[in-house]
Chains A and B, each alone.
Chain A
Amino acid sequence: MKYIFFCLLIALTITAKAQHADTLLTDTSKAKKLKEVVVTATRTNKTLMQVPMPVTTISNKEIKNRGLVRLNEILNEQTGLSVLPDAHGQGIQIQGFSPDYTMIMLDGLPLIGRTTGILDLSRITTNNIEKIEIVKGPVSSLYGSEAMAGVINIISATPPVGASGSVSARYGTNKNADISLNGAYATQRLSLSGFVNRYSSSGYTLVPESGSATVSPFYGYTLNGTLGYKFNNRTQIKLQVRDYTSTADNNFLVDNDRITGDGTEKTLNASAGLTHRFSDKFTGDVRLYHAGYSTKSLLINNTDNSVYDETFFDQNFNRAELQGDYKITNSLRFTGGVGGQDESVRATRYNDKKTFQSGYTYGQADWTPLKKLDIILGGRFDAHSVYRSQFSPKLAASYQFSDKFVLLASTGKGYKAPDFRQLYLNFTNAIVGYSVFGYEEAATELKKLQDQGQIQAVLIDPTTLQRLNAESSTAYNFGYRYKPFTGVMWTVNVFRNNIRDLIDSQPIAIKTNGQSVFSYFNIHDVYTQGVETDVTYNFLTRWTVAGGMQYLEAYDQSVLDQIKAGKVFGTDQATRETVRIKKSQYGGLLNRSKYMANARIAYQDDKTGIIASLRAIYRGRYGFSDVDGNGIVNRDDEYVKGYVLFNASVSKLFMNNQLRLQVTGDNIGNYKNPGAISNLAGRLIYAGVTYNFSKQQ
C-alpha cells in the first residue's frame, strides 16, 4: 500500500505545474469568525453569532496546526468534552452524558457502529475536513434518537476549482503512522474528490507483566469518494461513499493460555442527495443514505489450538429523507422533513436477524420578529416498530443586544431509543453461568430455562413488564457570546439536563446454580448540570491565547433519595465497621470530572511560516470504582486523580506554503495511569509532512 501512495504522489506532483498556496493560511480571521456560518444546530445555514444554541466549531486549519489526525485527538482538547478510555473504543462525554448519547455525523448523516454504546472516535480521520461543528444540548427535534447530549458533525471539505491534491504523513512513537493522499478536480459544475487514509500502530502495553497489550497492533484504511454536479443554478446532486476497514492483531494471556487472532471492523457509508431550488423562497432536498457496520473476530487458544471466541456483528441502516425549506417572509422561515428508516442486525449473541422500521417527520420555524430577536421552534415525531413513539420539541431564542453581545436560551427534549442489545441480547456467561436477555427476548428465553428446570425462583414475571421506553431528557441551556473588545470572544453556557428512564439491567429470576437472569428496565433518573466558559484572545496579530473550563455535577436521583432516607452505607476505613453515607460524600456518576479546563497559546507568523501551539488539558478527579461495595463513589480511593496533559506542535511552512514540516508532541509530560486510563500511552512524539498543490483552471 505504501508503494501505491508514493507512486500516486509522484504522479500527482508531475501533473501539478502551476502551483498555488492552499488553504493552510487562509483562515477565518476574527471578523470572519463572527460571520461564520453553521449548519448543524438548525439544519439551515445560520451565522454563528446568531444561532440560539451552544455551538462550537473547529476549523481544518486549527486541526492541522495542532498536528492531530484522528477525531478523538482533536475532541479531547475542547472545553467540556472528554474522551473516555474504554475497552470498546474512545467515546465522547458531553455535558456529563455517556458516549451513547451523542450523535456523530458525517456531513449531516449519522454514523453507526457502536459497541456497548460507544462509537470509537479513533476510527474517524480528520483528513479532508472543512470543519467540525459541535452542538451541545439535545437536537432530537431535528435528528431523533441519540442526539440527546449533542451532535458532532464532521463537514467534508469542498475542493477548489481546478486540480488539487495533497499528501500528508505523520509518524512517531509506537510506530503510529497516519498517511493521507487526497486528490480533487473541480469545475464550476463538477466536483470530484477522493482520498485514501491509512492509520496504523504497533499498539502499546501499559502493564507489561500482564503479558497482554493494552492496545493491540492494528492498521486501518479509509477510502472516500465524493462527486458533486450542478445541473444548473437550481439543481445539484452529491454522491459520497466512504469505506473504513481496520484489522487488529489480538494477542493476550488468559490464565497462562495465549490467545491470538484477528479482529476486523468495517464501516460503509454511502449517500446520495439531490437539491432543487424551486424558487427563491423554496428549496427541496432528497437524500438516500446507507450505512453498514460489521465486526468479526476469531480468537484461538494457542495452548490446545481450540477456538477461544468467535463472534460477528452485522448492522445495516437505510434511510430515505425529504426536506423542504420555505422562506415564507424575510422574517419567517420554515424547514420541515419526512423520512423512513430500516435497520437490521445479525450477531453472535442475537437469536436471528432483527429488524427495526421507523418513520419520522420534523418541522422547524425560524422567526425573527425583531431584528435582534431570533426564535426557533421545532419538533420531531418518531414512530417506531418496536418501542413507543417519541415527540421531541425544541424552543430556542437569541437576542442580540449589540454586535458584541448575544444572549441565548434554549430548552428541548432529547431521547435515545433502546438499542439492539437492550432489546434482543441473548447471552449466557459460560464460565460464571448468569444470563442476560433483551427486553423482547426475556419472556420466551425465561420460559425455555423454566422448562429445562434451570430456574429456582422468578423475581419479576417478564410478561407483566411495561414496554421498554426510550431514555429521554429535558434540557435547559442559557448563556451568552460576548466580544468585549477586538480580538476577544467570550462564551458562557449554563446547562441542566433532567434525564429519565435510563435503561439498566436487573435480575428477573434466580437460576438453580444460584446465578441471576437479567433483563433491561427503565430504572434510573439522573441529572447533570453545570457551567461552561470559553475565552479566546488574539493579540499582536500573531498570538492567540485561549482558555476554557467546565464545572459539572452529575447525580443519580435515586441514590440521592436513598441517602436522604439514610439507606446508603459505607465502611469506616479505620474500623471496617458500617457507617452511614452523607450527601456531601456522594461523588456522583462514575467518570464525571467536576472540573475540567484547558488553556492554549498559539503563535503564527505568516512571514516566516512558523506556526506553534502549546495546549494544556486538565481533567479533574473523577469517580472510577466502588471499593467498599455500596454501589456509589464516596471514598477518596474510589477516584482517579486529576491530571494535566501537555500537547504541543511546531510547524514550518515552505515553498509558498505548499510544504509543511511539523513536529507534534502529545502528552509531553508523559503522564500515565495504567490501572485506570488505558488511552494514555505516555509521551508520543510525531514528525509530520504535508505537501499541497493546486492548479487553477
Chain B
Amino acid sequence: MNKFKTLALVLFSSTALLVTSCSKDNETPEPQKPVILTVNTVSDLDGSAGAVYYSLSTNKQITGDDITAGKWDIKFSGTSIFVNGGTSGSGTTQAQTVDGKFEEVNQAPADGYKTDASGVNAIAKWYQYTGEDIKPNHTILPLPGKIIIIKTTAGKYAKMEIKSYYKGNPAITEAFDANTPSKFYTFRFAYQADGSTSLQ
C-alpha cells in the first residue's frame, strides 16, 4: 500500500514536473510578484488637544513613553508636520514632496530628502490658507498633487497624501464654516516594508 502510494506520488510529481517544464515557454517564471501595498486611510487623527504622533510602519498612533522612545515617524501639530529627525526627533527620518497623483507615484526618489531643521520642516507647504480673499475664508486646505514621500529611520519608504485638516473630512465649498473643529487629520498612506523604493 505504501509502495503504491509512493509510486503514485512519484508519477504524479513527474507528470506535474513535465507539464510545468512543457509550459515553461508560455508561463514566464514570476520572480516574486510585487505585493501591492496596502493603502491605509487614517481618519480624524485627533490633534486638537496637542501634537499627535504616528507610526507608519505599525499604522498606529504613538502615545506616552513610545514617543520619547522615538517609535514615531511623523508628528502633526497644528498646521505643521514634523518628521522624526533633525531638530524634531531622535531618529533620522527624512521626507520630500513630489508632484503627482497618489496612485501614480510608484517609486520613491533616490535622493532629495531632507530632515527637519530649525523653522524649516522637511514637509513644508502642504496646505494653503485661504485668508480674507478666498472663499471659504480662513480655511486650511491641503494642496492638491503634493504627495509626501517619507524615508523612515529604519530606511523604509512610504508615500502619503493629506486629505483634510477638519473633523469628518468635510467637503470644502464656499459655504464651509471655518469654525469646524480643526487639527483632525485625515490622510492616506502606503508603507513599503521591504526596504525598496517601490511604492506600487
A→B interface (CB under 8 Å): 456, 510, 512-514, 567-571, 573-580, 625-630, 637, 675
Contacts and interface: CB of A to CB of B under 8 A. Distances in A.
A514 B174 CA distance: 30
B99 interface: yes
In the complex, the 4 A-B pairs of residues with the closest C-beta atoms, listed nearest first: A569-B145, A629-B128, A625-B134, A576-B163
A576 B165 CA distance: 11
A475 to B, nearest CB: 31
A140 to B, nearest CB: 33
A625 B133 CA distance: 8
A578 B130 contact: no
Given A575-B163, A580-B101, A627 B134 contact: yes
Contact of B99 (A567, A625, A629): A567
B144 to A, nearest CB: 4
Contact of B144 (A456, A510, A629): A629
B55 interface: no
8 contacts: A568-B145, A569-B145, A573-B173, A576-B142, A576-B171, A626-B128, A630-B144, A637-B174
Contacts of A574: 171
A600 B171 CA distance: 43
B144 A627 contact: no
Given A625-B133, A627-B172, A628-B144, A578 B120 contact: no
Contacts of B118: 512
B102 A627 contact: no
B92 to A, nearest CB: 21
B135 A625 contact: yes
A629 B143 contact: yes
Interface in B125-165: 127-128, 130, 133-136, 141-145, 147, 161, 163-164
Contacts of B101: 569, 578-580
A577 B174 contact: no
Given A627-B135, A630-B143, 7 more contacts: A569-B100, A574-B171, A578-B144, A578-B147, A626-B128, A627-B174, A628-B144
B169 interface: yes
B5 to A, nearest CB: 57
Nearest to B133: A625
B50 interface: no
A579 to B, nearest CB: 7
Given A514-B120, A569-B99, A637-B173, A579 B135 contact: no
Contacts of A567: 99, 145
B187 to A, nearest CB: 10
A379 to B, nearest CB: 42
A570 B99 CA distance: 11
Contacts of A456: 120
B119 interface: yes
B133 A570 contact: no
Contacts of A628: 141, 143-144, 172
Contacts of B141: 571, 627-629
Contacts of B143: 628-630
Contacts of B127: 629
Contact of A675 (B99, B100, B135): B135
A573 B173 CA distance: 8
Contacts of A629: 127-128, 141-144
Q: What interface size band does chain B fall in?
A: 20 to 34
A626 B130 CA distance: 8
A576 B102 contact: no
B169 A576 contact: yes
Interface of B: 99-102, 118-120, 124, 127-128, 130, 133-136, 141-145, 147, 161, 163-164, 169, 171-174, 186, 188
Contacts of B133: 625
A569 B144 contact: yes
B159 to A, nearest CB: 12
A319 B55 CA distance: 69
Contact of A571 (B120, B144, B147, B186): B144
Nearest to A637: B174
A103 to B, nearest CB: 28
A574 B169 CA distance: 10
Contacts of B144: 569-571, 578-579, 628-630
A513 B117 CA distance: 11
A435 to B, nearest CB: 16
Given A578-B101, A580-B101, A627-B130, A573 B172 contact: yes
A578 B143 CA distance: 9
A598 B123 CA distance: 50
Nearest to B173: A637
Contacts of A637: 135, 173-174
A510 B174 CA distance: 33
Contacts of B164: 576
Contacts of A568: 145
Contact of B163 (A577, A579, A627, A675): A577
Nearest to A514: B119
Contacts of A578: 100-102, 144-145, 147, 161
A576 B135 contact: no
B164 to A, nearest CB: 5
Question: B133, B135, B145: which has the most chain A beta carbons within 10 Å?
Answer: B145
B119 A512 contact: yes
A226 B6 CA distance: 122
Contacts of B169: 576
A94 B173 CA distance: 32
B163 to A, nearest CB: 4
A577 B186 CA distance: 11
Nearest to B164: A576
A629 B144 CA distance: 7
A577 B120 contact: no
Identify the interface centre among B102, B134, B147, B186: most chain A CB within 10 Å of its CB.
B134
B165 to A, nearest CB: 10
Contacts of B147: 578
A578 B146 CA distance: 8
Nearest to B129: A629
B99 to A, nearest CB: 6
B170 to A, nearest CB: 9
Contacts of A569: 99-101, 144-145
Given A514-B119, A578-B102, A580-B101, A630 B145 contact: yes
Given A513-B119, A576-B164, A576-B186, A571 B142 contact: yes
A376 to B, nearest CB: 44
B114 to A, nearest CB: 11
A675 B174 CA distance: 11
Nearest to A569: B145
Contacts of B161: 577-578
Nearest to B172: A627
Which of the listed residues A568, A570, A577, A626 has the most CB atoms from chain B within 10 Å of its own CB? A577
B104 to A, nearest CB: 9
